[in-house]
Structure 1
Amino acid sequence: MTRASLFNSPLLLGFDQLERALDRMNKTTGDGYPPYNVERLSEGHLRITLAVAGFADENLSVQVENNQLVIRGKQSEDDDGRVFLHRGIAARQFQRTFMLADGIEVTGARLDNGLLHVELSRPVEAPEVRTIAIESGGVRNRQKLVQE
Structure 2
Amino acid sequence: MRSFDYAPLYRTTVGFDRLFDMLDSSVRSDWPPYNIEKTGDNDYRITMAVAGFSPEEVELTQHGPELIVIGQKQPEQGDRQILHRGMATRNFKQVFRLADYVKVADATLENGLLSVDLVREIPEELKPRRIGIGTSTGKQPSPNKQISQDTQPQRKVA
Task: Note if 1:109 corresponds to 2:107.
Answer: yes
Aligned residue in 2 for 1:14: 15
Which one of 44, 48, 58 corresponds to residue 46 of structure 1? 44
1:33-81 CA deviation, whole Å, 9 max, x = no partner? 1011111111110000000000000000011124111101011112421
Q: TM-score, normalised on structure 1?
A: 0.73
Q: Residue 31 of structure 1: CA displacement?
A: 2.4
Amino acid at match of 1:18: L
Distance 1:63 1:8 in 2: 36
Query: What secondary structure does 2:21 align onto?
Result: helix
Higher relative contact order (CA 8 A, sep 6+): 1
Listed as ranges, the gaps of 5+ residues in structure 1 are 131-148
Structure-2 change in CA distance of 1:87 and 1:16 (3 Å) = same
1:127-138 mapped onto 2 (5 Å cutoff): 127=128
Structure-2 change in CA distance of 1:61 and 1:37 (3 Å) = same
Aligned residue in 2 for 1:137: none
Distance 1:5 1:95 in 2: 33
Distance 1:66 1:123 in 2: 14
Q: TM-score, normalised on structure 2?
A: 0.69
Query: What secondary structure does 1:8 align onto?
Result: helix
Aligned residue in 1 for 2:91: 93
Identity of aligned residues (%): 38
Distance 2:110 2:77 in 1: 23
Query: What is the RMSD of the two structures over their aligned residues, measured on CA atoms?
Result: 2.4
